[in-house]
């Protein structure tokens, strides 16, 4: 099936030219996975609870610091993001709308009771640790843990503005734009760091933090920080949250990069992206995007492992039966 990529501003004539850490990681992990997910937009009908939890958590903290920068008190900002998260994790019951109904152009109608109240239910996670209740708890406890942190003040730039909420587009090479979003640049002991948050069910130790050096995303954040802020950025501060049934525990660590390492990252990234572009120039066909068979079982197994295990002639039917071809495509150029 040829998927129409013309509506995705990151593609030109079927070839991706604007990239973010998500799409870069896909092509580095497995070209076939990149093809299914980024180019064809096949998404599992059941989204990973870890992906949902991490996304809601990151958004809440991003908005918290944004509101504080805009002048809200810590309590006001926390109240606002908790409310937002409760709304985001609420699912409304829907039914197909009448064909041609101009009030519901997307084909669904939110079900209401006899009094006109919208019917719905809270998100129910398939993971006992990463639940809606634990999400709200972790957001609140993180703010309580770090709201009075004097060790990481936000950097004030030369124009007098705080270094928060920056979306960026950087040219790595001709026809290769690196895009992304940085939440905060902070000063720690005289050095500048990008801030990032992660969640895990595992006990957080030195071994846990080793996964971030080397790491595509952390190197990219550091590289982008130096370019867009125009000042030295030493690396990334990672605030990791261990999510358990009865508690959330936070540990902070650092990952640093030298200029030589960042240049190596840039060249390595360009190599992979040019390879992806050469695959796409041959056409939108899975045979042009080889499988990386060594990544099939990583992290509990690739979501497309069962697809790739099928005979090539029936894969498309299997995809249609197990996945949705999402029209809300991932586009690195979309502003946050």
Q: Check pLDDT > 80 for residue 326.
A: no
Which whole-number Å values give the CA distances from 313 to 43, 287, 288, 293, 302, in the listed order?
20, 12, 15, 19, 20
DSSP codes, 225-264:
HHHHH-S---EEEEEEEEE-SS-EEEEEEEEE--HHHHHH
Lowest mean pLDDT among 75-84, 104-113, 140-149, 268-277: 104-113
pLDDT at 210: 96
CA distance 8 to 4: 9
Predicted confidence (pLDDT) per residue in 224-272, tens digit: 999 999 999 999 999 999 999 999 999 999 999 999 999 999 999 999 9
9-39+149-279 has CATH 3.30.1360 classification: no
Residue 316 has pLDDT above 60, yes or no: yes
C-alpha to C-alpha distance for 112 and 103, rounded to whole angstroms: 15
Distance CA 136, CA 159 (A): 36
Tokens of 177: 């734009």
Residue 45: pLDDT band with limits 50, 70, 90: confident
Does position 334 have pLDDT exceeding 50, yes or no?
Answer: yes
Position 131 scores a pLDDT of: 97
Q: Which two tokens stand for residue 68?
A: 């504080």
Provide the pLDDT for residue 150.
83
Pair 3, 41: CB distance under 8 Å: yes
What is the β-pairing status of strands 248-256 and 235-243?
antiparallel
Q: What tens digit of pLDDT does each residue of 75-84 get?
A: 999 999 999 9
Q: Which helix (H) or strand (E) holds 135?
A: helix 132-146
Q: Which residue bears the tokens 């029209």?
A: 327
pLDDT value at position 22?
Answer: 94
Per residue in 96-108, pLDDT tens? 655 544 444 445 5
The answer, yes or no, to whether residue 116 has pLDDT greater than 90, is no
Map tokens 């309590």 to a residue.
75
Instruction: Compute the mean pLDDT over every residue in the chain, rounded to the nearest whole number.
Output: 90
């Amino acid at each position: 099936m040829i998927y129409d990529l013309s509506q995705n501003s990151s593609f030109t004539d079927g070839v991706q030219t604007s990239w973010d850490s998500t799409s870069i990681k896909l092509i580095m992990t497995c070209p076939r996975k990149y093809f299914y997910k980024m180019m064809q937009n096949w998404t599992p009908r059941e989204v990973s609870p870890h992906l949902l939890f991490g996304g809601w958590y990151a958004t809440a903290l991003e908005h918290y610091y944004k509101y504080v920068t805009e002048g809200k008190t810590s309590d006001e900002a926390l109240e606002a993001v908790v409310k937002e998260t409760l709304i985001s994790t609420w699912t409304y019951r829907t039914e197909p709308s009448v064909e041609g109904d101009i009030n519901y152009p997307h084909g669904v109608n939110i079900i209401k009771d006899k009094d006109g109240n919208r019917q719905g239910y809270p998100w129910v996670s398939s993971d006992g640790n990463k639940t809606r209740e634990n999400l709200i708890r972790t957001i609140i406890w993180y703010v309580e843990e770090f709201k009075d942190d004097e060790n990481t003040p936000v950097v004030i730039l030369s124009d007098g503005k705080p270094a928060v909420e920056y979306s960026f587009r950087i040219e790595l090479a001709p026809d290769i734009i690196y895009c992304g979003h940085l939440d905060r640049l902070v000063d720690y002991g005289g050095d500048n760091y990008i801030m990032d948050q992660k969640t895990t069910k595992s006990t957080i130790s030195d071994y846990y933090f080793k996964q971030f050096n080397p790491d595509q995303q952390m190197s990219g954040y550091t590289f982008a920080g130096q370019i867009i802020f125009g000042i030295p950025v030493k690396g990334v501060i990672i605030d990791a949250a261990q999510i358990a049934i009865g508690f959330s525990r936070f540990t902070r660590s650092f990952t640093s990069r030298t200029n030589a390492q960042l240049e190596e990252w840039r060249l390595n990234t360009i190599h992979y992206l040019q390879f992806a572009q050469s695959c796409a120039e041959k056409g939108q066909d899975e045979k042009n995007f080889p499988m990386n068979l060594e990544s099939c079982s990583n992290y509990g197994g690739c979501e497309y492992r069962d697809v790739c295990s099928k005979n090539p002639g029936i894969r498309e039917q299997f995809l249609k039966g197990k996945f949705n071809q999402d029209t809300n495509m991932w586009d690195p150029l979309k502003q946050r």
